Structure 1
Amino acid sequence: MSLILLLFLSITTFHKCICSNHTVVRCNEKDLEILLTFKQGINDSLGTISTWSTENDCCAWKGVHCDNITRRVTKIDLNTYFYEYEPVKVLEGEMNLCILELKFLSYLDLSENNFDVIRIPSIQQNITHSSILLHLDLSHLYGPLHMDNLDWLSPLSSLKYLNLDGIYLHKENNWFQVVNTLPSLLELQLSHCNLNNFPSVEYLNLSSLVTLHLSGNNFTSHLPDGLFNLTKDINSLRFEGSNIYGEMPSSLLNLQNLKLLDLSSNKLQGLIPDEIGQLAHIEYLDLARNMLSGFIPLTLGNLSSLYLLSIGSNNFSGEISKLTFSKLSSLDSLDLSNSNFLFQFDLDWVPPFQLSQLSLSNTNQGPHFPCWIYTQKSLKDLDLSSAVISLVDRNKFTNLIERIPSELILSKNSISVDMSNLTLSCSWLSLDHNNFTSGLPNISPTAEFVDLSYNSFSGSIPHSWKNLSELEVLKLWSNRLSGEVLAHLSASKRLLFMNLGENEFSGTIPMNLSENLEIVILRANQFEGNIPPQLFNLSYLFHLDLAHNKFSGSFPHCIYNFTHMVTFHIYELYSTTIDLFTKGQEYVYDVNPDRRTIDLSPNSLSGEMPLELFRLVQVQTLNLSHNNFIGTIPKTIGGMINMESLDLSNNKFFGEIPQSMALLNFLEVLNLSCNNFDGKIPTGTQLQSFNASSYIGNPKLCGAPLNNCTITEENPKTALPSTENEDDESIIESLYLGMGVGFGVGFWGICGSLFLIRKWRHAYFRFIYGVGDKLYVILTVKLNSFRRN
């Protein structure tokens, strides 16, 4: 009997295996309906959810995960992805939170997409089951996405992770109370949500919370002291850039499990309390960019777990010595920039740590290079800009900077070292405003940012520079460099910013410059030859300075593709500066995409200016002075309404100044002198506001602010008769002309009618014959009577 039962069980098991191999269990119909509703409002230009079709099992859709047995949707992961370190905006359109109605959903990530609206259905009514959702990430950092309230969170009682970064919640005044309805919540991220208040924390229970990130809001208040009495187990706390003022709350120091504390970029005042040394587990401490003052407590040196310390840009005073860092053996990143500390380190001091990042910019380290930095073998980023350094140990210094792989910033010191035999491997190199001499260093092919301006480098460009395929910014302004340079940059196809001004470079502009160029400055060199038409096909270019060179030939007549000079664009570039010559003088600007410039002054360019140049309506500075240009100013110049500085002086332009120039309301600098303009200067508030020097050197030009145009005012007595005679002659000529026309019309009107109408013609001839007969009879009678007498 037992054998028969065993056989029956084996057959049943085998039958189930066979069925399981041939039966496909598709996803739940209710889940499918919810997913399709969610998809309806999405604009999927990249085809990210192209697999979301009823032809496929929804468990096989991209980003959808189901339980292997029940085939119910348990996880949806549609966050953005990265390509070459750049985020790709995947989904656009409507984010419909109906997706939260999925009964077995435990994980939902829609972060870093580009939705523009959130639709919140009546979720409380639709979620009749007990939600098992544990992880919810809707963070959005590509533009304002508004949400009026957080009431929809209430049914999600199992939630442990909530991230709404970048979603504007400024209308939600009770966000803390809503969060209080989530008893299982461990991690809360509401950064950059435009929150503006701390509600009362009296009745809150946040004892489970371990991570609280509220950065980038606008609280304009103190941190509530009671907040940190509710969150004893918290280990990560971020409030940077949230407009918080007052002193550091004492309750912060009771958070014994705290590992990360970021209060940077606020308005905190007062001292760092000595009790900060009690935070035994703290690893990340950032208090930079506040208004804290006083001495740095020595207890800070007891934080042996600390790997990042950033306290720069405050009002601290006093000494910084080895005692400050006595036990910081784990320290990896140190930022003391923009400080007035008195640095007191022994020459033979060897720190207990090995840093990968160090910033001492805008501090007084000099005149000697700090010896303890030579001991740091793991440095990846070093910023010693404006540190009053002039003396270095050449061997130790060169060994140090050659091994730094990421950022080396030594700007605005007085360091003088021959670097011609060095090979620098860093990707960001700033050595500007020093006294470096001799030849340029060799640079790694991975370099992205190179600023060697305002030094005494000489010689030609090293051969190794031909391999700078990753280069995006190059600044060599004000050195003594010579030879050809532009040919060396043909491999730099990612180049955005090129400043080679104030050197002795020569050669011509090649045709294969980077198509991504936004700023080209070749000012004050020995470049020559024609300007290639390809230069005017760079759609991103907004600053072109070729002044003070030897360029010749005519201006290229081609289709200009300066998109950024026609249509306003905002495009973020590196945080850097450019030397801009505009409005008749030199300025130093932070890179500002709305400053459009074309400067071709002192060269040997000739020919007429193409109309396309005067259609670049976003241009603010146009300087064509000291060339040999000819032709007239086109009327389309009136459309360049953003023009602030216009210099066409010392050319061979002629003709009248177009009246449309009076429309340039923002014009602050104007120079049309030394040309062949004639006629009257157009009347307009703007053009008359400049003095005569803007127009001199044009003998036939008149009108304010020059002399009056009319000659009659000089000799009115002789001028008036001449005018009257001219008027009489004109009237007589008009009279004769009218008589002739009248005669012609009358003659051809009668003769034409007689010729074309038979009855008229017969009547006319009968009339003529009758008149002839009468005249004959009268004449005969008169003659006979005369004879008788």
Structure 2
Amino acid sequence: MTSLTHLNLSNAGFEGKIPPQIGNLSNLFYLDLGRNGLFADNVDWVSSLSKLRYLDLSGMVLRTRGMSLPTHLGKMTSLTHLDLSNVAFSGNIPSQIGNLSNLVYLHLESYYMFPQNLHWLSSLSKLEYLGLRGIYLSQSFHWLHTIQDLPSLMHLRLSTCAFPHNNPPSLFNFSSLLNLDISASTVSFVPEWVFGLKTLVSLNLRSNNFGGPIPGSIGNLTLLENLDLSHNSFSSSIPNALYRLHHLKILNLESNNLHGNISNGVGNLTSLVRLDLEGNSISGTLPRSFGKLLSLRSLDLSNNQFNGNPFESIGSLSKLVNLQIVYNCFKGVVTEDNLANLTMLQQIIASGNNLTLKVGFDWYPTFQLFNLHLNSWQLGPNFPSWIQSQNRLQNLLMSNTGILDTIPIWFWEHFSQVSYLDLSRNQVHGELRTTLKNPISVHSVDLSTNHFHEKLPYLSNDVYYLDLSNNSLYGSMDDFLCRNQDKSMALEFLNLASNNLSGDLPNCWNIWPFLVDVSLQNNHFVGNLPHRWNLLSRVFPTSLKKNNQLIILDLRENNLSGTIPLWVGEKLLNMKILCLRSNNFSSHIPNEICDISLLQVVDLAENHLCGNIPTCFNKLSAMRLRNRSRYSGIYFESYTSDYSFEEMVSVLLWLKGVGIEYRDILGLVTSIDLSRNKLSREIPREITDLHGLIYLNLSNNQLSGQIPPREIPLTISKLSFLNHLDLSYNHLKGKIPTGIQIQSFEATDFVGNNLCENGEHGVNWFFVSMALGFGVGFWLIVAPLFIYRSWRYAYFCFLDDMWYKLQSCW
């Protein structure tokens, strides 16, 4: 196809080697092979494409070890666009690229480049876009001053660059720069020269280490339309200087430490289209001037400390499409009038507030929503009939909303294609089976903690998550489990705990091959367990070997025996929770468990395990660092043919001797519980490398005096994140180390050992008995003298007489 002038194969999913025959297409003006999975041994074929003006090889891998970019790129003088972003190669960037005097666009992103000198950039007088993303900028970076003289440069991207000494270069004289990106770099402070770039339209300083107040000099950038300061550590309140940026369309201050109130000056930002303040500590009510932001389409105030009724301030924002205000202190009554002008709303994410929706029975909203999250609002006592007007809903969350009603018959048919439905923690009642006109086909259904009764509902194959726990459902599981034996069901999570289900467990689990988590506790089942449930037999289920995507393995309180198999650590490398508590496992803890680096909960308590605690526990990297993730749950991902979604799982964990069900913060829990076994020898020092460990329970074992120097390791006192430590009832000796964290624990955490406070060396019972005898004898004589005056008089007369006689003898 030698006459071809334009070839675009970008994002096509190609893999493998780039065919060098592309070099035969000598008439090409435009070639884009970017964003595929391609590699090459060399790119010498490019030199044949002398007419090329546009070349994109982004994402390509130069496979030959030590391969650098070819110098003949500098001979392609017709090029105006060269994109080598994220190209895997080594060595310097060839200076011959400076010969490409017609270049308008140059992107050299790579995490493998360590350029020493880029002075040749000054030759690219027509350059408008320069991307140096991810490049290590060496200590001699004075060459960067040369790019400030590029007369046409409008877009400069230095994101994820490694600047020496955490300092960006000093650049002052850009005369035409419109966009500057220094996001996710190693810069530790906002360079002052940035605020002299009066022509800037877009400034991205996202994900750096900036702290302190937002500099007031940012108000000098009066032409800014896009400002991103998110994911830093800026503190104090939002400066009034920001409110002078009248052209701002996008303002992102997400995930900082901002506090204080929002002033009325926010009303000056009348051009704002998107405002994101999520994840700060901003408080107070929204000022009335919020109503002036008539261009606003997206507003995110989530995870702050705002109070008052936000809809009194934002009710006039007729262009608002996305509203997110979850987890604040908002309170008050939201009326029809507050919502009347919000005609373009498509998403209301407002859970975790103390708001009440008070509308008429025949209210018909002016908006059509895709997502509605109103958990913890007051919507009841009647089921909100206005929901029927929402024909596009994909996610509906109305948990803990005070509904005391039955689910209307129209509901299941009307919302049969909702992806996620949560009506939990209400007092919804009725008979699920008879109120369902069609089988449930919602992907995820949570109706837990309600007053449903009668039998279990039928399910369609679309359901992946079903939680009906804490209701009054009764009857057997036969119809529920075995109704459609001709096809496999897609359900992955099933929770029927705390109902009144009874009868035998039927043996048709073979049609439920995707089940990951099943909870049937607190029911009234009888008979034998199905033979397919080798999970509950005496032998560890070898069928789990194939489940290499398993995240949680909970086999507590069964009758499993034998050894913990080595393949648990060899095959289940994605596991985060391992709970084998209250079984009959014996022998030692296999070292292979340490290969599961994602493990954050290890509960092997109440077995018959012996031997030493593995010294390799410091390989559990999930426990080495404090988990500061904002997303604190643990999720498993479900798929359909055209859709994927994540579901949060819950697990009952025994911490501090109490069983607590963790769900929303399960991802933040780190725990090792090896209590009530027969483990011996010393506590390995390697366990003290787990600086993110919150709970450690080694009580009721036989751990003993091989701990040098026969004491609790002093390094344990450095585990400042440790919330609970239990070493009781072992054979430990010596003194308890000092440290703020250790001293905060209870005495019962150390009982049943031969331990003492720091600086002491055990109890000397001779001195204890001597002191006790002295005290008893002293008070037997002295106490009566305090009580009886005559005894006291006689006693002192006796002493006086004895003193007189002694003097006479001398």
Distance 1:46 1:395, change over 3 A: farther
Which residue identity does 1:644 align to in structure 2?
L
Quote the Cα distance in structure 2 between the aligned partners of 1:487 and 1:558: 32
The two structures have a TM-score, normalised by structure 1, of 0.62
Q: 2:105 aligns with which of 72, 75, 88?
A: 75
Give the CA deviation at 1:251: 3.1
Counterpart residue number, 1:126: 146
In structure 2, how many angstroms separate the alpha carbons of the residues matched to 1:508 and 1:377?
45
User: Counterpart of 1:330?
Assistant: 344
Q: Which residue pairs with 1:199 in the alignment?
A: 215
What one-letter code is carried by the residue in structure 2 that aligns with 1:223?
I
- Within the alignment, does 1:180 sit opposite 2:196 as a pair? yes
CA offset at residue 638 of structure 1? 5.1
Residue in structure 2 matched with residue 508 of structure 1 by the alignment: 534
CA contact (8 A) 2:728 2:749 kept: no
Larger Rg: 1
Q: How does 1:506-585 map to 2 (within 5 A)?
A: 507-509=533-535, 510-513=541-544, 514-524=547-557, 534-537=567-570, 538-547=572-581, 560-563=592-595, 564=597, 566=617, 567-570=619-622, 573-574=634-635, 577-585=650-658
Q: Indicate which of 160, 175, 181 corresponds to 1:157.
A: 175
Q: Is residue 347–residue 371 contact of structure 1 (8 Å, CA) maintained in 2?
A: yes
The equivalent of 2:697 in structure 1 is 645
Q: Retained in 1: the 8 A contact 2:204–2:227?
A: yes
1:277 corresponds to which of 269, 291, 294: 291
Q: What is the CA distance between 1:467 and its match in structure 2?
A: 5.8
How is 1:134-533 mapped onto 2 (pairs within 5 angstroms)?
134-140=154-160, 148-172=166-190, 174=192, 177-183=193-199, 185-195=200-210, 196-201=212-217, 205-229=220-244, 231-296=245-310, 298=312, 300-405=314-419, 407-416=420-429, 424=440, 426=442, 428-436=444-452, 438-439=455-456, 442=459, 447=464, 453-455=469-471, 459=477, 462=481, 478=498, 480=501, 482-483=505-506, 490-491=513-514, 507-509=533-535, 510-513=541-544, 514-524=547-557
Q: What secondary structure, in the 3-state scheme, does the structure 1 residue paired with 2:674 have?
A: strand
Q: 1:181 deviation in Å?
A: 2.2
Distance verdict in 2 for CA 1:239–1:146, change over 3 Å: farther
Report deviation, 1:210.
Answer: 1.4
Give the conservation status (yes or no) of the 8 Å contact 1:49–1:62: no
Question: Equivalent of 1:660, from 706, 717, 723?
Answer: 706
Gaps of 5+ in 2: 1-25, 30-44, 88-95, 536-540, 600-616, 636-647, 689-694, 717-723, 738-745, 754-761, 766-810
Closer, same or farther: CA 282–542 of 1 in aligned 2, 3 Å: closer
CA offset digits 1:149-193 (Å, max 9, x no partner): 44444354332222223235333352xx5233252x221122233
Structure 1 residue 391, shift from structure 2 partner: 1.8
Q: Letter of the 2:84 partner, please give it.
A: G
Q: Deviations over 1:47-73 (max 9, x none)?
A: 999783447778698637999x96754
Indicate if the aligned counterparts of 1:43 and 1:91 stay in contact, CA closer than 8 A.
no
**CA gap 1:118/1:358 in 2 versus in 1, 3 angstroms:** farther
What amino acid is the match of 1:580? L
Distance 1:225 1:691 in 2: 53
Deviation (angstroms), 1:322: 0.7
Deviations 1:250-295 (A, max 9, x none): 3321233222222333343443333433332221223343343344
What are the within-5 Å matches in structure 2 for residues 767-786 of structure 1? none
1:442 Cα offset (Å): 3.1
Q: Which amino acid aligns with 1:370?
A: P
Q: In structure 2, give the amino acid aligned to 1:581.
A: W
The change in CA–CA distance for 1:302 and 1:198 in structure 2 (over 3 A counts) is: closer
Deviation at 1:222, TM superposition (A): 3.0
> Per the alignment, do residues 633 and 356 of structure 1 end up closer, same or farther by CA in structure 2, a change over 3 Å counting?
closer
Counterpart residue type for residue 657 of structure 2: G
Tell whether the 8 Å contact from 1:44 to 1:91 is kept in structure 2 after alignment: no
1:591 corresponds in structure 2 to 666
Query: Aligned to 1:342, what secondary structure does the other structure show?
Result: strand
Cα distance in 1 for partners of 2:303, 2:407 equals 33
Answer yes or no: is the 8 Å Cα contact 2:568–2:592 preserved in 1. no
| Counterpart-to-counterpart distance in 2, 1:498 and 1:78 | 51
Task: Quote how far apart the aligned CAs of 1:520 are.
Answer: 1.4
Counterpart of 1:52 in structure 2 is 69
Amino acid at match of 1:160: L
Residues 431, 453 of structure 1: 8 Å contact kept: yes
C-alpha displacement of 1:96: 7.3
- C-alpha spacing 1:210/1:658, structure 2 compared with 1 (3 Å): closer
Distance 1:430 1:182 in 2: 53
| Contact 1:158-1:182 within 8 A present in 2 as well | no
CA distance in 1, matches of 2:174, 2:522: 65
Q: Note if contact 2:160-2:186 (Cα within 8 Å) is conserved in structure 1.
A: no
Structure 2 CA distance for partners of 1:353 and 1:232, relative to 1, 3 Å: same
Secondary structure of the corresponding residue to residue 265 of structure 2:
helix
Contact 1:366 1:389 survives alignment (8 Å): yes
Alignment of 1:63 onto 2:76: no
**How big is the shift at 1:330?**
0.7
Whole-Å separation in 1 of the counterparts to 2:683 and 2:460: 45
- Structure 1 residues 218, 129: closer, same or farther in 2, change over 3 A? closer
Instruction: Quote the Cα distance in structure 2 between the aligned partners of 1:363 and 1:110.
Output: 48
Q: Secondary structure at the residue paired with 1:302?
A: coil
Residues 641 and 557 of structure 1: CA distance in aligned 2, closer, same or farther (over 3 Å) = closer
Give me the whole-angstrom Cα distance separating, in 1, the residues matched to 2:452 and 2:237: 49
**Gap regions ≥5 residues in structure 1:** 1-17, 80-89, 597-619, 626-631, 650-655, 674-680, 696-703, 708-789
CA distance in 2 between counterparts of 1:446 and 1:137 reads 45
Residues 659 and 683, structure 1, Cα contact 8 Å, conserved in 2: yes
| Structure 2 SS opposite 1:644 | strand
Deviations 1:526-548 (A, max 9, x none): 88999766445323435333446
How far apart are 1:558 and its partner, in Å? Answer: 7.2
Distance in 1 between the 2:27 and 2:687 partners?
77
Question: So what's the TM-score if we normalise by structure 2?
Answer: 0.61
SS for the counterpart of 1:341 is: strand
Task: Check whether the contact 2:481–2:508 (CA below 8 A) recurs between aligned residues.
Answer: no
> d(CA) in 2 for partners of 1:523 and 1:337?
34
**Contact 2:376/2:400, CA 8 A, preserved across alignment:** yes
Following TM superposition, by how much is the alpha carbon of 1:640 offset from its aligned partner in structure 2, in angstroms? 7.7
Q: C-alpha displacement at 1:129, in angstroms?
A: 4.4
Q: Distance in 2 between matches of 1:648 and 1:440?
A: 46
Q: Which residue pairs with 1:785 in the alignment?
A: none
Question: Cα distance, 1:26 vs. partner?
Answer: 7.5
Q: Distance in 1 between matches of 2:138 and 2:451?
A: 57
Instruction: Tell me the SS of whatever aligns to 1:167.
Output: coil
The residue type paired with residue 387 of structure 2 is: I
In 1, Cα distance between the equivalents of 2:106 and 2:508? 53
